[in-house]
Protein backbone atom coordinates (compact mmCIF):
# COMPACT_ATOMS: atom_id res chain seq x y z
CA UNK A 1 0.00 0.00 0.00
CA UNK A 2 1.43 3.43 -0.92
CA UNK A 3 2.29 5.79 1.90
CA UNK A 4 0.29 8.93 2.44
CA UNK A 5 2.47 11.70 3.86
CA UNK A 6 1.13 14.93 5.33
CA UNK A 7 3.50 17.90 5.05
CA UNK A 8 2.48 20.81 7.29
CA UNK A 9 3.61 24.19 5.94
CA UNK A 10 3.34 27.67 7.41
CA UNK A 11 4.62 29.60 4.41
CA UNK A 12 8.15 29.95 5.72
CA UNK A 13 11.35 28.73 4.06
CA UNK A 14 12.15 26.91 7.30
CA UNK A 15 9.00 24.76 7.02
CA UNK A 16 9.72 24.05 3.35
CA UNK A 17 12.99 22.37 4.35
CA UNK A 18 10.84 19.28 5.01
CA UNK A 19 9.83 19.04 1.34
CA UNK A 20 12.95 17.30 -0.06
CA UNK A 21 12.79 14.57 2.60
CA UNK A 22 9.03 14.15 2.17
CA UNK A 23 9.49 13.94 -1.61
CA UNK A 24 12.17 11.27 -1.25
CA UNK A 25 10.03 9.23 1.17
CA UNK A 26 7.07 9.44 -1.19
CA UNK A 27 9.23 8.42 -4.14
CA UNK A 28 10.69 5.42 -2.29
CA UNK A 29 7.30 4.19 -1.10
CA UNK A 30 5.37 5.11 -4.26
CA UNK A 31 3.39 7.31 -1.93
CA UNK A 32 1.45 10.55 -2.04
CA UNK A 33 2.13 13.94 -0.46
CA UNK A 34 -0.64 16.01 1.05
CA UNK A 35 0.27 19.64 1.65
CA UNK A 36 -1.47 21.57 4.43
CA UNK A 37 -1.22 25.06 5.82
CA UNK A 38 -0.71 25.09 9.58
CA UNK A 39 -1.26 28.30 11.53
CA UNK A 40 -1.79 28.97 15.20
CA UNK A 41 -4.84 31.07 14.36
CA UNK A 42 -6.54 32.44 11.27
CA UNK A 43 -9.38 34.93 11.61
CA UNK A 44 -12.60 33.78 9.97
CA UNK A 45 -12.81 36.92 7.83
CA UNK A 46 -9.41 36.38 6.15
CA UNK A 47 -9.43 35.79 2.40
CA UNK A 48 -8.12 32.23 1.84
CA UNK A 49 -6.99 32.99 -1.74
CA UNK A 50 -3.30 33.66 -0.87
CA UNK A 51 -3.14 30.46 1.18
CA UNK A 52 -4.51 28.38 -1.69
CA UNK A 53 -2.19 30.12 -4.16
CA UNK A 54 0.79 29.32 -1.93
CA UNK A 55 -0.11 25.62 -1.67
CA UNK A 56 -0.76 25.42 -5.42
CA UNK A 57 2.65 27.00 -6.08
CA UNK A 58 4.44 24.51 -3.84
CA UNK A 59 2.56 21.62 -5.45
CA UNK A 60 3.42 22.88 -8.94
CA UNK A 61 7.13 23.05 -8.06
CA UNK A 62 7.01 19.46 -6.77
CA UNK A 63 4.90 18.00 -9.61
CA UNK A 64 7.97 17.08 -11.70
CA UNK A 65 9.32 14.89 -8.88
CA UNK A 66 6.02 13.18 -8.03
CA UNK A 67 3.66 13.48 -11.02
CA UNK A 68 0.04 13.04 -9.98
CA UNK A 69 0.91 12.35 -6.35
CA UNK A 70 0.68 15.81 -4.79
CA UNK A 71 -2.51 16.92 -3.13
**pLDDT class for 2, splitting at 50, 70, 90?**
confident
Which pLDDT value is given to residue 34? 95
Mean pLDDT for the chain overall: 88
In whole angstroms, what is the distance from residue 56 CA to residue 69 CA? 13
Sign of the CA dihedral with 62 first, then 41, 6, and 15 last: positive
For 20-52, how does the pLDDT look when each residue is reduced to its tens digit (9 = 90+)? 999 999 999 999 999 998 877 766 677 778 888
Summarize the confidence of residues 51-60 as an average pLDDT: 91
In whole angstroms, what is the distance from residue 15 CA to residue 21 CA? 12
Percent of the chain with pLDDT over 90: 58
Phi, psi of 34 (to 5 degrees): -120, 120
Confidence (pTM): 0.78
Amino acid sequence: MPASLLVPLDGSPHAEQALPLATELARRTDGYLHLAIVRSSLPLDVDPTPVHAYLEGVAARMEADLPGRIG
